[in-house]
A and B are shown apart, each in its own frame.
Chain A
Amino acid sequence: MALKSSENDKRVGWFCAYTPVELIEAAGLRPVRLFGDGADSDEANALLHPATCPYLRACLAAAQRESGPHMLVFANSCDGMRRLHDAWKHFLKPDFCFLLDLPRRVDWAGVGLYHRDLLRLREDLESLTGRAITPGALRRAVSDWEATRRELRDSADGLEGVERVRRAVALQEEGLAWKPGDARGAAPQSGRQGRTSGVPVVVTGNIVRADGLLSLMEEAGCRLVAADICSGDRFFQDLGLNEAELEGLGVDGMLRRLAERYLARIPCPRMVDSRRRHEHLLETVRRTGARGVIYVSIKFCDAFIYDFPRLRAALDAASIPVLMLESDYSDQHEGQLLTRIEAFLEIIGDSMAAGRGQV
């Protein structure tokens, strides 16, 4: 069951958008986000309870079947992710398995704890590679990732929905090897095409597959004007760091900046301050002229399950209709989901005028 080690494989698998890819890059390794195969996760059930996030089980099942990556960084973002780390480490015995602590607060305590763990990650990466991470290497990695995120944003300018998310996913899978013309990132991977007409809708949620549920939404007649999901638009956010700002700082100082900036991003519902995320979503709806919101929560994701009633209240107060969909990450039951999305689109055709909220 154990993964086979390969010295030439420099890939470091990661899972959560709060993972500091820059630090992994500065160690001379290649951060790649793992997505697993949503349709094939049963194999993991013996190692991770079936009532655990299907995304996590899909990643674990893929690792049980495949060889590599042999190095992994898990952010301690939720109970499920922490247990994924535990199961992976215990049952698959990879070469490198790091649990990066991720606080919920973003104040002095949160920054302090996150910074401390970035230092710990640095030490472990240095031990792994046998090479020190220099200030120059880290500065370059930060700068390269910032530039690539900007490039991604520019290349995706004007793109919406599935096409836009595919670009973001490609960057997460390819890392700095990604190029704007990358066919993997730009070309549709299934027969479905993105659309730029239809009822404007913002989709929000955690991990939503571009070629699964998002394609289905477009097929139903949604024009996905924003994809506020952690594998989509949330990954477009840069950290607002430039080389000049990092000039003169040692690795410790730069990691402090990274800690501050990562925690200052629009928060995921796991963070204490979810209100900021709700405000961001409302602003996105207003800016894009969306007629409604589709909230996609992957099954068994506590952060999103607990977030929804609050977000729904905020959307209701702003008379923005919302449809809640639960995804098992395999996006089976397409027919049922399609019917619900189509019904939602029919209703929001006139719901804004009627001032109705949740559908």
Chain B
Amino acid sequence: MGLAEDLRDKFKNDLSPELLRSRLLWRTARRLARSRWNKPDWRADIVSLSFFLDRTERAFTGKGTVVWANLLFPPELIHAVGACAFYPEMASAVVASLGLAPRFLDEAAAAGFTRDTCSFHRTALGAAAGGFYPAPEMLFSASYPCDSASHTLNYLAEKLGAEYVGLDVPAHPDPVTLDILAGQFEEAALRLGARMGKRESQVLEGLREALVRSNQARSLLLDIGALRRERPCPLSGRELPGQLSMISAAFGTEDGVRFFQMLRDQIVERRGAPSAAAQEERTRLLWMHLRPYYPNGLADWLEERGARVVCDEFALCTWEELDPDDPYLSLARKVAGHFLVGPADRRARAMAALARDYQVDGAVHFNHWGCRQSCAGAPLVRSHLQNEGVPTLILEGDCVDEREYQEGQMRTRLEGFLESL
């Protein structure tokens, strides 16, 4: 039994805001993390678990200034000042994996949020309003990848009495607009620094160090990307969750560097000798958007049929090396250069390039219900991929709300798709 299952069984029914703030819970979680039962397939997952446990414990037990941010907000800026970064969207994924999402989704519905919006954000709204997320001092959102994140964080800032800073990322990056975005990052960093009693020079020094570490992790992530291109792919999509969250949250930290170092090294060790559980790689798939986070058998089912997800939309390095001497402009380039910013043909071109690089046989676009930016762009992305000769399946579902999961239907669609390949 894995750690997630242990935690789910122990705390699912008794979870309360008070329990989350109790030292007993965190002691127990740390003990489980260190126990002999916690033997993840990838050693790096021990680092990611420790990273998140440490941050979350600090956030819940009042040992740090808590800052909430959305997925495209650069974590380097938060780590630079030593604040405790908390990502409500990622927390929703954890909540879903523990089987707790329906409870918070119902609370969000009772507060007036209809089910037509994204369940990552509705879960965050329900959990935060009930005191299940650590109280923030500041909330940052970049205006991409989606509107929902900005609306959610803006709403919660008011509800929780914290400061919200929304950053406008230009859809058309050029020297002028990047400079304006850099100015917004500078303003945000100095405001956060001031809250934490840091002088500007200390903020800049912190940023310098964070950007150096970020570049180290970036280089390792590029190595991992190159390794995943090999046949058979030594790291399947099923084994990725830790990597996805570390890309969003840990860049700029020592743990981030350690995680990607260990992951890269272990992939090198395993090259040409995929794990016993992995079946022969018959079909290489590109997966777009995310996958269901609640317990489900989809990933195993795909692997059993020899279908390996060899590349993922969110497990990529999309930015150039950062300049530690010009941190704000570097971060502006990093964020504004992401393919999820601006028109969808940027994303479509990036996906087509990915499909070519990784020599995939087909692509799956997971249409997470309520994700406007992704679902509404799916036909265009599919059109681009199909023009490149990559058959693409659009699969409707929900990443967080397990009540919407119909594995039978999903399998039928995937089965038909795999046969057609």
B146 at the interface (CB under 8 A from A): yes
Contact B113 A110 (CB under 8 A): no
One digit per residue, 1 when the CB lies within 8 angstroms of any chain A CB and 0 when it does not, for chain B 395-413 equals 0000000000000000000
Contact with A along B127-167 (1 / 0, CB 8 A): 00000000000000001001110111011001000001010
CB–CB A83/B168 < 8 A: no
Q: Is the CB of B367 within 8 A of A299?
A: no
Find the B residue at minimum CB distance from A80. Answer: B372
Residues from chain A with Cβ under 8 Å of B369 in the complex:
51
Given contacts A83-B344, A116-B180, A302-B117, contact A110 B168 (CB under 8 A): yes
Question: Is the Cβ of B117 less than 8 Å from the Cβ of A306?
Answer: yes
Q: A113 to B168, Cβ gap below 8 A?
A: yes
Nearest chain-B residue to A309 (Cβ)? B112
Taking a contact as CB atoms closer than 8 A, the residue among B372, B379, B380 that contacts A78 in the complex is: B372
> Contact size class for B?
35 or more
Are A117 and B113 within 8 A (Cβ)?
no
Report chain A residues within 8 Å CB of B367.
Answer: 49
B77 to chain A, nearest CB (A): 16
- Is there an interface contact between A305 and B114, defined as CB atoms closer than 8 Å? yes
Kindly list chain B residues whose C-beta atoms are within 8 Å of the C-beta of A305: 113-114, 116-117
Is there a chain A Cβ closer than 8 Å to B184's Cβ? yes
Q: At the interface, yes or no: A244 with Cβ under 8 Å from chain B?
A: no
- Taking the complex as formed, is B171 at the interface, i.e. its CB lies under 8 A from any CB of chain A? yes
For A90, list chain B residues within 8 Å (CB): 345, 380, 383
A212 in the interface (beta carbon within 8 A): no
Residue of B whose beta carbon sits closest to that of A85? B343
A86-B343 contact given A109-B184, A113-B177, CB 8 Å threshold: yes
Q: How many residues of A contact B (CB 8 A)?
A: 48
Contact B380 A87 (CB under 8 A): yes
- Per-residue interface assignment for chain A, residues 99 to 125, with 1 indicating a CB less than 8 Å from any chain B CB and 0 otherwise: 101011100111011001100100000
Given contacts A272-B166, A305-B117, contact A112 B372 (CB under 8 A): no
Whole-angstrom distance between the alpha carbons of A242 and B111 in the complex? 45
Write out the residue numbers on chain B whose beta carbons fall within 8 Å of the beta carbon of A326: 114
A300 at the interface (CB under 8 A from B): yes
| Residues in A293-310 with C-beta less than 8 Å from chain B | 299-300, 302-303, 305-310
Interface residues of B in 107-122 (CB under 8 A from A): 111-114, 116-117
Q: Shortest Cβ distance from A256 into chain B, in angstroms?
A: 13
Q: Does B170 contact A (CB under 8 A)?
A: yes
Choice from B143, B166, B184, B376 contacting A48 with Cβ under 8 Å = B376
- Judge if B183 is at the interface, Cβ distance under 8 Å: yes
Which of A49, A105, A309 lies at the interface centre, i.e. has the most chain B CB atoms within 10 A of its CB? Answer: A49
CB-contact partner of B345 in A48, A86, A117, under 8 A: A86
Kindly state whether residue A270 has any CB partner on chain B within 8 Å.
yes
The chain B residues found within 8 Å of chain A, CB to CB, are 111-114, 116-117, 143, 146-148, 150-152, 154-155, 158, 164, 166, 168, 170-172, 174, 176-177, 180-181, 183-184, 342-345, 367, 369-370, 372-373, 375-380, 383
- CB-based closest 8 A-B pairs: A83-B376, A306-B151, A79-B372, A309-B112, A103-B168, A79-B373, A49-B375, A86-B344
Provide 7 A-B residue pairs closer than 8 Å at the C-beta atoms, listed in order of the A residue. Answer: A52-B372, A86-B377, A101-B170, A104-B168, A108-B183, A299-B116, A306-B117
